Structure 1
Amino acid sequence: MYNKKQYVFDNEKPVKAEIRNYGKSDFPELIAIQKESFPPPFSSDLWWNEQQLANHVALYPQGALCIEVEGEMAGSMTALLTDFDPAHPEHTWQEATDNGSIRNHKPGGTTLYIVDICVRPKYRSLKLGQLLMQAMYEQVVHNGLERLLGGGRMPGYHNFSDKLTAEQYAEQVIAGKLKDPVISFLLRCGRTPVTVAANYVEDEESENYALLMEWKNPFHQ
């Protein structure tokens, strides 16, 4: 199981943060964070429910992480193990995660697949998302996996979809000509693009597109 304590900076003030595995007692706060992190037009049907969270804890507790700041729950990140064929990367979030229930978790899988990451809006200046991502990279290395993989929403795309394809939008974000709240964040975290996926998840702002992005284990042979 995972537990890491360190300091993060709120402006110039160091504050204590802890990344750990979440459990049943954390479910109400995790659901509240989902509602704060993904307001409309994001579909409320995609917020966690208690049954999904119970599956995360029961089926792959190592992939169920949360972060606290000064004792307050501030964010979470969830993953499962799967196999991935780079020659056939196309899939949807529902297929990859069994609609967030992770009943398709493969204990022998070589790819750590990110089901979800969210951080309370009031804590987003503390770079907690990067800390959660780093914790998952550490698990990839510790367990000798090939890669971390997941689909990144493109919430800025709806502002440009009248003149750019999803692929062109992603290319411009990667080239630094445009900024996207999610894709630019994932690039800063060290993720690299694999392919644009259509109909990845119900997401009005992204027009249902996502950019599949990976992080390869530099120690994997």
Structure 2
Amino acid sequence: MYRKEQYVFRKNQVYQAIIRNYTEADFQGLIGIQKRAFPPPFPSELWWNKDQLENHIKHFPLGALCVEIDGRIAGSMTGLIVDFDSSDPDHTWKEITDGGYIRTHDELGNTLYVVDLCIDPEFRGFKLGKELMNAMYEIVVHLHLERLLGGGRIPTYHKFSRTYSIEEYVHKLTAGQFKDPVISFLLQCGRTPVKAVKGYLEDKESSDYGLLMEWANPFRQKT
């Protein structure tokens, strides 16, 4: 199981943080964070539910992470292992994560796949998303996996979709010519683009695209 204690900073103040695996005792708090992070008109059926969270700790408890600040749960990140074929990368979030229930988890897979990352709005500014991402990288190394992979929304793309193809827009993001709150954050976390997938999720802001981005295990020898 995973547990790490460290310090985090916000506005020159220092706080103690604990990153650990979440358990059934945390479910109510995790669902509350989802509600605060994604308030209406975000569909309530897309918030985590108890059955999904139970599946997370049943199928892959190591990949079910949360972060505490001063004893309060401030965010969570969930992953599963899949066998990713880089020659056939196209998929949807729903297909690969089983709609968030992760019954697609494959202990013999080669890739740690990001299901969700959510930070309580009250705790933004601590860079907790980056700390949770770093914890997932450590799990990749610990399990000798090839990569961390996940699809990121591109919420600014709808503003430019008539001007640039998705490939052109991603290039401009990686060149620093534009910024996107999701993709720029993932780039800052060390993730690199693999492919933009049409139909990855239903999201008008992203024009239904998801950008697959990976962090390759630097200790893993390529064969």
Range of TM-score over shorter length: over 0.9
Report what 1:83 is aligned to. 83
Matches within 5 A, 1:10-29: 10-29=10-29
Q: Is the 8 A contact 1:154 1:180 kept in 2?
A: yes
1:95 aligned counterpart, secondary structure? helix
Aligned-pair Cα RMSD in Å: 1.2
Matches within 5 A, 1:1-221: 1-40=1-40, 42-221=42-221
Question: What's the CA shift for 1:138?
Answer: 0.3
1:125 aligned counterpart, secondary structure? coil
Report the more deviating stretch, 108-117 or 162-171: 162-171
2:99 aligned counterpart, secondary structure? coil
| Unpaired stretches in structure 1, ≥5 consecutive residues | none
Q: Is the 8 A contact 1:41 1:205 kept in 2?
A: no
1:200 aligned counterpart, secondary structure? coil
Between the aligned partners of 2:129 and 2:110, the Cα distance in structure 1 is 23
1:66 aligned counterpart, secondary structure? strand
Question: What's the CA shift for 1:109?
Answer: 1.0
Question: What's the CA shift for 1:44?
Answer: 3.2
Question: What's the CA shift for 1:39?
Answer: 3.5
Would the alpha carbon gap of residues 206 and 115 (structure 1) be closer, same or farther in structure 2, given more than 3 Å must change? Answer: same
Between the aligned partners of 2:41 and 2:165, the Cα distance in structure 1 is 21
For residues 90-129 of structure 1, give each alpha carbon's deviation from its aligned partner in whole angstroms, at most 9, with x where no partner exists: 0000111011000010011110000000111222211000
Between the aligned partners of 1:73 and 1:218, the Cα distance in structure 2 is 31
Q: Which amino acid aligns with 1:87?
A: S
Between the aligned partners of 1:82 and 1:176, the Cα distance in structure 2 is 31
Report the more deviating stretch, 151-160 or 163-172: 163-172
Would the alpha carbon gap of residues 190 and 41 (structure 1) be closer, same or farther in structure 2, given more than 3 Å must change? Answer: farther
Q: Which amino acid aligns with 2:205?
A: E
TM superposition outliers: structure 1 runs of 4+ over 6 Å = none
1:126 aligned counterpart, secondary structure? coil
Question: What's the CA shift for 1:58?
Answer: 0.6
Between the aligned partners of 2:43 and 2:19, the Cα distance in structure 1 is 27
Between the aligned partners of 2:175 and 2:17, the Cα distance in structure 1 is 33
Q: Which amino acid aligns with 2:102?
A: I
2:214 aligned counterpart, secondary structure? strand
Between the aligned partners of 1:111 and 1:28, the Cα distance in structure 2 is 29
TM-score by length of 2: 0.95
Q: Which amino acid aligns with 1:168?
A: E
Question: What's the CA shift for 1:41?
Answer: 5.3
Q: Is the 8 A contact 1:41 1:204 kept in 2?
A: no
| Unpaired stretches in structure 2, ≥5 consecutive residues | none
TM-score by length of 1: 0.96
1:98 aligned counterpart, secondary structure? helix
